[in-house]
Structures are given as C-alpha cells and as structure tokens.
Amino acid sequence: MNTVKTIYLDYAASTPVDPRVADAMIECLRPSGEQGNPSSAGHEYGRRARGLVEKARMQVAKAIGAQPQSIVWTSGATESDNLAIFGVARFNADRGKHLVSSKTEHKAVLDPLKQLEREGFEVTWLKPEADGIVRPEQVQAALRPDTQLVSLMHVNNEIGVVQDIAAVGAICRERGVAFHVDAAQSAGKLPLNVETMNVDLLSLTAHKIYGPKGIGALYVRRKPPLGLKPLIYGGGQESGIRSGTLATHQIVGMGLAFEIAERERQQDVERIGALRDKLWAGISSIGDVELNGHPHDRVAGLLNISFRGVEGESLQFALRELAVSAGSACSSASEEASYVLRALGRSDQLAQSSLRFSLGRYTTPEQIETAIAAVKREVARLRSYSPAAEKKS
C-alpha cells in the first residue's frame, strides 16, 4: 500500500473527521461519557444523553435555517433520500402517483424512484442542459395535478454544479407540491436556508462535512406538517418517523461538524476555491481537456475533467499518488461510463476518461502543485502510447 504519501483529493466522496469533532465524539464514548439511552428520560444518564442529542439538533437546524424539531436523525443521506421519497410517495399514494426528478441525481434518489416506478408510480425524468443545470422552467412544465413530489439535488456529486433550488422551490410551493433536496454535497459549502429556498425535505449527511460516517439527518417541514410514511418501525423515536436508538456520539459529531462548517464556511470556501482555480489553471494548460458542468455555477473544491485520448482507468492508476475518483466513488466499481456525464451528452470515451478532483479543508497549495505536475506528466505519457488517430482527436 502507498496510502501514506497519497494526496487526498476525494473530499466529495468523504471528508476526514475534523479533530475537534473527533475529540467531542471520543468524550461521549469514554466510560465517563454519555452511555445512557437518549430515550431513557427516567434517569440522569438518559437525560444527559438527550441533552447532547438536542444540542446537536439545534446545531444542524441552525445551519439550514430550520426549527430544531424539524430535524430527523438518520444513518446518512442515502437513508434520508429514501425516507423522503418513499415517505412522501406512499403517504400520498391515494392522491396521485406522479413524481419529478432529474437524470443526474445520486443513486440514492434514482433507485428509490425506480423502485416506485415498479410499484406503479410514474416519474418524469428531467434532462439537464449540457452544463448540468436543470432549468426551473423544466420543472414547471413537468408538474401535473397528480404530482406529489419533486426531488432535485442541490449540488451534483460528480460534477459539482449548483441547481437553482430557490427558484424550483418557489414553483413547487406555488403548486402545492412537496420539494425534496439532497444537500449532501452543499452543506458547509453553500448557504442553506430551507425557508428562503422553499424546501420541504432536505437530506444531510455528516461525513462530507468533516463529521463521522453513519449519521445523517432529514429536515422535514413541520409548518404546515408534511405527511411522511416511515421506513423503519420500532421504538417510535424521532416522533415515530425514524425508530431506532439514537447514536449519541455520532449525533454529537454531526452537530459540531455542522456548527464548525457554518462558522468557517466563508473562509474555507475562499481558500478552497482559490486552490481549485489553481488546479484548473494547471490542468487546463495541458490542452485537450474539458471541464464538465457549468463553468461558474459550481461549488468550490470540485472539478470534473475529461481528458481526450486517455483511458480513464489507466489515468487513475497512473495517478495513484493522488486519491481521486473516476466518475463517482459510489458507482466506480461498475464498468459503465458515468451516467451523469452521459446525460450531459459526453461521448462514451470522454465520459470514461474523466476524473473528479475534490478539494477540502486540509488541502494545501503544495499538494495542488504536486497534483498538477503528476497530471501533466502522466497525461503526456499515456497520450504518447495512444494510437495516432486518437492523438489527433
């Protein structure tokens, strides 16, 4: 293994846990920490644990402009997405079975929607423009009297483009259609306010914002209340929406991660954005490379780049001193070219020859310089092996 010297540029897949977050979590786990069940209101141990859970709930709520009681703890964004989509669709099934989403959503949204199609629901799949952006008018045009839910991600996990959530939210609100947003990739990177963005359901996760893996949350609008059928039944925790013993240390970690991320967001974004610009300037100077997705409506820290005439797996292996993703990490085990890049109209070759570089809180200018040098060297090397016809393309 050569992981020690590998430069981590895969923050969009997962972030390291901030040491401040790790310390808070470890304190919970010590014998002197909070071993009580937060639902055990009858004794001091339970009440102390509950206090920490509720503090974290406030921290997360504050970061998205929500009331604390609208935050439901889950195991992560995948569960949040599933809960939002199945929850709304099944709760409202007798009133309509039409749903709207886009072709470039995360699999955690695509697959529940495909399952609902098998159960008799109808999904309108919006195709983004070549820049990866779904125009609000497309959503407007897709709505029908029987539409129950629109689900759209805030920031795309593969290419980093930002959707106009507030505009889509306003359309949904006007038509009385529930609006779900997967914000796994935008929390801590963009301002989030569920009220001004007219969002009814918002999926969040801790591990992309310097918190632990295995904990997430779903914001569920309470005023007026949004009907949601649970996925998990049991002890009735989280107002019966999500049963299961609350994981105090995980929740504490997520709460603090969100508080820190919101407090330090502006300085983080400015610093990371400057490093991303430096990386793009270096890589684009190689030539015959293309930035995937809108050039400006994108989060700081994420670049998805297609390299002409270079095969993706070879490029990733040649660049194994850099921890980057080919396509999205969640689906890179599959052989198929990225469905997101294909949906944007990229050829199989370009889609297959793309790498995602994602920077974060601990990325340094020196790492970016090393990365640029490595990409320049290896792209030139692999292109020198390519058949002549490819070199000219």
Task: Confirm or reject binding of residue 69 to another protein (CB under 8 A).
Answer: no
Helix axes 44-63, 248-263, angle to 10 degrees: 30
Count of residues touching another protein (by CB under 8 A): 23
Check if 330 is active-site: yes
User: In the window 363-392, what residues touch another protein (CB under 8 A)?
Assistant: 384-388, 390
Cα angle at 219 between 303 and 19, to 5 degrees? 55
Burial level of 115, CB count in 10 A (0-12/13-18/19+)?
middle
Which of the following is catalytic: 167, 274, 330, 374?
Answer: 330
Residue whose CB is less far from another protein, 3 or 32: 3
Token pair in block for residue 28: 């919970």
Residue whose CB is less far from another protein, 69 or 347: 347
Specify whether the CB–CB gap between 200 and 178 falls below 8 A.
Answer: yes
Task: Confirm or reject binding of residue 119 to another protein (CB under 8 A).
Answer: no
The one among 2, 120, 267, 392 contacting another protein by CB under 8 A: 2
Task: Confirm or reject binding of residue 314 to another protein (CB under 8 A).
Answer: yes
Task: Confirm or reject binding of residue 347 to another protein (CB under 8 A).
Answer: yes
- Closest distance to another protein from the beta carbon of 277 (Å): 26
The one among 316, 328, 338, 363 contacting another protein by CB under 8 A: 316
The one among 349, 354, 358, 363 contacting another protein by CB under 8 A: 349
Token pair in block for residue 340: 């997101």
Cα–Cα distance for residue pair 167/393, rounded to 1 Å: 40
Task: Confirm or reject binding of residue 250 to another protein (CB under 8 A).
Answer: no
Q: How far is CA 64 from its chain centroid? A: 15
- Closest distance to another protein from the beta carbon of 357 (Å): 14
Residue whose CB is less far from another protein, 3 or 267: 3
Residue whose CB is less far from another protein, 147 or 306: 306
Cα–Cα distance for residue pair 238/19, rounded to 1 Å: 29
Task: Confirm or reject binding of residue 169 to another protein (CB under 8 A).
Answer: no
**Half-sphere exposure of residue 218: CA atoms within 13 angstroms, side-chain side:** 29
Taking residues 271 to 310 in sequence order and writing x for each that binds another protein by CB under 8 A, - otherwise, the string is --------------------------------------x-
DSSP 231: S
- Closest distance to another protein from the beta carbon of 307 (Å): 12
Task: Confirm or reject binding of residue 320 to another protein (CB under 8 A).
Answer: yes
In sequence order, which ranges of the chain are alpha helices (DSSP H)? 19-29, 44-63, 77-91, 107-118, 136-142, 165-175, 248-263, 265-284, 312-318, 339-343, 348-352, 365-385, 388-392
Task: Confirm or reject binding of residue 333 to another protein (CB under 8 A).
Answer: no
Cα angle at 124 between 123 and 125, to 5 degrees? 105
- As annotated, the active-site residues are 330
* Residues engaged in binding another protein (CB under 8 A): 1-3, 309, 311, 313-314, 316-318, 320, 323, 335, 347-349, 352, 384-388, 390
